[in-house]
């Protein structure tokens, strides 16, 4: 599974002591290098270790028991990972597709957002399949809305009902009109 | 808790308890677990690859119940606070104390390290808004809660305090500086508080929620302004800083910023950008030339709209990261013990884990003057 191209980048560290020798052909190599010019301090305790690339001593590797979607920018699976909610169903198919593309592309992220929405429907179906009718109002915490924002809450519900009723009336009227015009032909 | 879709979470009694999956894992029985502004991004469905059925929560304390065969330091019975970053301690980034950027904890993405309960884009781990949680690399992150420290203080050391502190630290604040913090949520309030520790002469916090501004005035002892009544906040900032702009601007808002219709539409409604970057936009335009922008507000992985041309022309330095909690913990513990920071002072709501749906709604909709809610699992003592 390892991507040889990335994993086999030659470790730099071993050559560092005689680095200057490697660049004798470049006039002035390194003369302005300033170890104090380190904008990541104090976030990072810079050691130069980055130049060893992926050559650190790895922790033991977690044994893979479920499908893990790996970013194609990773040459290998990380030593640990979460195993919850492995990809499944239609959303899983879309996620697998998304992971064919790098984190640098819309082709990765937009399908994932889309899969998330599909996954919500799958969640409801799954609830029902397990004999659980999801109480969406309770899940949205509307009990708290009732407690702390009652006036607006009631108002919003009233508005929703009013709009819905108006829509139904208009819709049914226009239907009747259509029928009439049909007959007047 | 169990995530069912945007704005929908519920308490779940049927989820199986977590198991040890790696020799360096521990299972922790949660005693406190906060809801964070970051959780709102996943609760609102803004972070790609947030799967239904997962459990959120990256700020928690708990008692070690079980350890894997490779765990050496941590023992069953230890009461620990667990940094929100999952860090291996041995990759090149961890070795240089970039614990928020570990390369051995998140296969799903290279740009972000593993985070508890924060979507598959951050590693696909279940989080701590639960009774039990799996904690990988148990010898690296988890830290024994110091004797005598209140649990409510300890739980805020897992994220809010180090993040607020790092926001100020990344600002490179010098004595006498004027520091502007965008966002008066828990992170902004803590960043404003910490800015004083670095010698700021003036600290200004900006938000549009009056109750939070009032809270910040007291807690962070700073100036606080409502951007809704400022007209153009950038012009206001120039005026109030003697015409040049602030020395340091901190973005403690992130992807869900209000205040600009187009940003809100593209970033929060249509999900076509990595979030609404209004606060960052204001920060870039409010800081002086050669000034420093510190970003801790979280954005999505897609492009966000910021005036990058001004960054170039003004010669700005942008410093940003997920907080490196483990790196900062020793200093944070000193500050708490010396009384310089009072973490639990920002907790406004203590809510049983069973009422997680209501807790999320209260924090998300900013009801009941909520600053920071903490969830308490049924088996955890109210005070310990
Ligand atoms: N980098 C890290 O390590 C890290 C850690 C924790 C949290 N965070 C991030 O920090 C941010 C803040 O977290 P929080 O818990 O305080 O969240 P919060 O949602 O409680 O607070 C955000 C505040 O910003 C205000 N706001 C909205 N638009 C604004 C604007 N244009 N200008 C100024 N203020 C505005 C909101 O009214 C709110 O009070 C979030 O994006 C969160 O994800 C980052
Ligand atoms: Zn957090
Ligand atoms: Zn690491």
- Asked, colleague to colleague, whether B2-159+324-376 and B164-320 share their fold, the answer is no
CA B298 to ligand 1 center in whole angstroms = 8
pLDDT for the residue B168: 97
CA A101 to ligand 2 center in whole angstroms = 29
CA A73 to ligand 3 center in whole angstroms = 16
- Higher-confidence residue of B375 and A30: namely B375
- Domain boundaries defined on chain B: 2-159+324-376, 164-320
Tell me which residue in A53, A73, A138 faces B110 most closely, judged by beta carbons.
A73
* Binding-site residues, ligand 1, Cβ < 6 A: B 36-38, 40-41, 159, 163, 182-188, 206-209, 212, 227, 252-254, 257-259, 278-279, 296-298, 322-323
How confident is the model over B300-337, as pLDDT tens digits? 998 899 999 999 999 999 999 999 999 999 999 999 99
Among positive and negative, which fits the CA dihedral B227, B231, B234, B238?
negative
| Percentage of residues in chain B having pLDDT higher than 70 | 99
Query: What does the mean pLDDT of chain A come to?
Result: 86
Cβ proximity of B323 and B194 under 8 Å:
no
Please report which ligand is nearest the Cα atom of B260.
1
Lowest mean pLDDT among A144-148, B69-73, B214-218: A144-148
CATH topology of domain B164-320: Rossmann fold (3.40.50)
Q: Is B9 at the interface with chain A, CB within 8 A? A: yes
Q: Is A57 at the interface with chain B, CB within 8 A? A: yes
DSSP secondary structure letter of residue B28: E
- Higher-confidence residue of A28 and B214: namely B214
**ipTM of model:** 0.91
User: Rounded distance, CA B55 to CA B358, Å?
Assistant: 16
Tell me which residue in A59, A84, A141 faces B357 most closely, judged by beta carbons.
A141
- Higher-confidence residue of A38 and A13: namely A38
Among protein residues, the one with the nearest Cα to ligand 1's atom 24 is B183
Please report which ligand is nearest the Cα atom of B186.
1
Query: What does the mean pLDDT of chain B come to?
Result: 96
pLDDT for the residue B347: 98
> Distance, in angstroms, between A158 CA and closest chain B CA?
20
pLDDT for the residue A40: 86
CATH topology of domain B2-159+324-376: Quinone Oxidoreductase; Chain A, domain 1 (3.90.180)
Cβ proximity of B273 and B299 under 8 Å:
no
pLDDT for the residue A170: 84
Q: Is B313 exposed, middle or buried (0-12, 13-18, 19+ CB in 10 A)?
A: exposed
């Amino acid at each position: 599974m390892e991507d040889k191209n990335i994993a086999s980048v030659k470790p730099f560290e071993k050559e560092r002591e005689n680095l200057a020798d490697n660049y004798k052909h470049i006039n002035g190599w390194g003369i302005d290098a300033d170890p104090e010019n380190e904008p990541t301090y104090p976030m990072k305790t810079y050691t130069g270790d980055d130049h060893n690339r992926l050559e650190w001593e790895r922790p033991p590797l977690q044994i893979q028991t479920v499908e893990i979607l790996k970013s194609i920018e990773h040459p290998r699976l990380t030593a640990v990972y979460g195993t919850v909610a492995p990809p499944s169903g239609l959303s899983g198919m879309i996620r697998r597709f998304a992971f064919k593309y790098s984190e640098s592309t819309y082709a990765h992220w937009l399908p994932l957002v889309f899969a998330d929405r599909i996954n919500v429907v799958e969640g409801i179906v799954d609830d029902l399949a397990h004999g659980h009718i999801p109480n969406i109002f309770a899940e949205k915490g509307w009990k708290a809305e009732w407690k702390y924002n009652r006036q607006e809450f009631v108002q919003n519900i009233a508005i929703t009902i009013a709009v819905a009723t108006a829509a139904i009336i208009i819709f049914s009227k226009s239907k009747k009109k259509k029928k009439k015009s049909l007959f007047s032909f | 808790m169990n995530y069912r879709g945007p704005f929908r979470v519920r308490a779940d009694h049927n989820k199986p308890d977590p198991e040890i999956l790696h020799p360096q894992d521990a299972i922790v029985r949660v005693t406190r677990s906060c809801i964070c502004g970051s959780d709102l991004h996943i609760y609102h469905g803004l972070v790609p690859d947030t799967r239904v059925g997962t459990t959120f929560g990256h700020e928690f304390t708990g008692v070690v119940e079980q350890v894997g065969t490779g765990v050496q330091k941590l023992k069953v019975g230890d009461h620990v606070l667990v940094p929100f970053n999952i860090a291996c301690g041995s990759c090149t980034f961890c070795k240089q104390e970039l614990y928020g950027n570990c390369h051995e904890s998140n296969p799903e993405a290279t740009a972000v390290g593993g985070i508890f309960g924060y979507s598959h884009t951050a590693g696909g781990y279940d989080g701590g808004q639960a009774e039990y949680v799996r904690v990988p690399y148990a010898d690296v992150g988890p830290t024994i809660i110091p004797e005598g420290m209140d649990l409510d203080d300890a739980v805020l050391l897992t994220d809010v305090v180090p993040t607020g502190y790092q926001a100020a630290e990344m600002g490179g604040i010098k004595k006498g500086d004027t520091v502007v913090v965008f966002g008066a949520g828990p992170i902004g309030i803590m960043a404003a508080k910490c800015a004083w520790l670095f010698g700021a002469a003036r600290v200004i916090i900006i938000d549009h929620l009056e109750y939070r501004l009032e809270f910040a005035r007291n807690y962070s002892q700073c100036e606080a302004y409502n951007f809704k009544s400022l007209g153009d906040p950038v012009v206001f900032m120039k005026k109030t800083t003697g015409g040049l702009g602030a020395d340091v601007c901190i973005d403690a808002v992130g992807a869900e910023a209000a205040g600009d219709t187009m940003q809100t539409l593209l970033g929060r409604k249509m999900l076509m950008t990595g979030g609404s970057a209004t606060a960052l936009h204001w920060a870039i335009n409010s800081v002086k030339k050669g000034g420093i922008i510190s970003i801790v507000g979280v954005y999505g992985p897609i492009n966000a709209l910021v005036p990058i041309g001004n960054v170039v022309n003004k010669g700005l330095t942008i410093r940003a990261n997920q907080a490196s909690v483990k790196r900062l913990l020793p200093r944070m513990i000193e500050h708490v013990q010396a009384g310089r920071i009072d973490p639990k002072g920002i907790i406004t709501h203590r809510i049983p884990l069973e009422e997680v749906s209501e807790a999320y709604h209260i924090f998300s909709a900013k009801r009941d003057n909520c600053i920071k809610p903490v969830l308490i699992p049924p088996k955890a003592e109210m005070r310990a």
